[in-house]
Amino acid sequence: MRVNLLIAVFSFTLLTGCKTQVTTINKEKSKTETIAIPIKEYSILAVLWQQHAAEYRALTYQAFNTAKLQLDDILANKTKIEKPLAIVTDIDETVLNNSPYNGKLIERNEDYSETSWIAWGKEKKAKAVPGSLHFFQYAQDKNVEVFYLSNRLSVQTSETLENLKQLGFPFADENHILLRTDEGGKETRRKKIQRSHDIVMLIGDNLSDFSEVFDGQPTKVRNRKADSLKTYFGNKYIVLPNAMYGDWETKGILEGKYYWTNFQKDSIRHSKVINY
Ligand SMILES: [Mg+2]
């Protein structure tokens, strides 16, 4: 058991180089001392969980098994088809597993950056999220089109399509991918798909993959909206687990304040832990 009690929230601290320094109280020695914590230290357990926990895989299988049951049900009950049917899916942590990128940030002691993210995408090494490939191939067999709606940058289009194609994902072509151009919100792009297709299902790891009501919202609102839409989950909305990153952290825990220093972020994380 750790002897040192971290009192990072209000202690004297400095951000030096790539480490967040925090002052701790060593109870045994009755003195304070300063230690340096690597800036991605807080993310290690989440990355390990996604890479190693059989429970993570079980959850992704559960999501895609549910998606298949729902799709079968939708197809069995569609009496009139006016527009081609479509599934809209996110890409990262929904069909492609980017946990090695998050692992690399830990090794390099770096924060996310567009440069390193684009470099990882160019490697085209992301593997399929368990269960995803089988499900999307099944959808194709049932004549349901798949649209990849992602906030990867539009400059990443060719390597993203190649990565998807190498893995065998259907509809990995220019007509079925909508990456980010300017706005991060996905509603405009969803509406664009809706004009030509009947969207029967949405799949993602971030609640903004489903509805704009979650866009940019703080934790309380996100939770309240999730409660109000509870009948949609496992139904029209299929959710994948992602403990490594997401709006739950940036918009929720960190309240969208990207300019905060790593030490401030560390303090905020500590302050938001619920205990008794
Ligand atoms: Mg995602």
pLDDT of residue 6: 41
**Could you tell me the pLDDT band of residue 45, with boundaries at 50, 70 and 90?**
very high
pLDDT of residue 2: 42
Q: Report the separation in Å between the CA atom of 152 and the middle of ligand 1, taken as the mean of its atom positions.
A: 9
Q: What is the 3-state secondary structure (H, E, C) of 223-256?
A: HHHHHHCHHHECCCEEECCCCCCCHHHHHHHCCC
Residue type, 150: S
**Could you tell me the pLDDT band of residue 9, with boundaries at 50, 70 and 90?**
very low
Q: Report the separation in Å between the CA atom of 90 and the middle of ligand 1, taken as the mean of its atom positions.
A: 6
The model's pTM is: 0.89
The pLDDT of residue 50 is above 70 = yes
**Could you tell me the pLDDT band of residue 48, with boundaries at 50, 70 and 90?**
very high
Is residue 266 within 8 Å of residue 20, measured between CB atoms? yes
Q: Report the separation in Å between the CA atom of 206 and the middle of ligand 1, taken as the mean of its atom positions.
A: 6
Model confidence pLDDT, tens digit, residues 220-231: 999 999 999 999
Residue type, 108: R
The pLDDT of residue 113 is above 50 = yes
- In the chain, the domains with their CATH numbers are 4-38+254-272 (no CATH), 54-245 (3.40.50.1000)
Q: Report the separation in Å between the CA atom of 47 and the middle of ligand 1, taken as the mean of its atom positions.
A: 15
Q: Report the separation in Å between the CA atom of 76 and the middle of ligand 1, taken as the mean of its atom positions.
A: 29
Q: Report the separation in Å between the CA atom of 240 and the middle of ligand 1, taken as the mean of its atom positions.
A: 9
Q: Report the separation in Å between the CA atom of 79 and the middle of ligand 1, taken as the mean of its atom positions.
A: 33
Across all residues in the chain, what is the average pLDDT? 90
Q: Report the separation in Å between the CA atom of 178 and the middle of ligand 1, taken as the mean of its atom positions.
A: 13
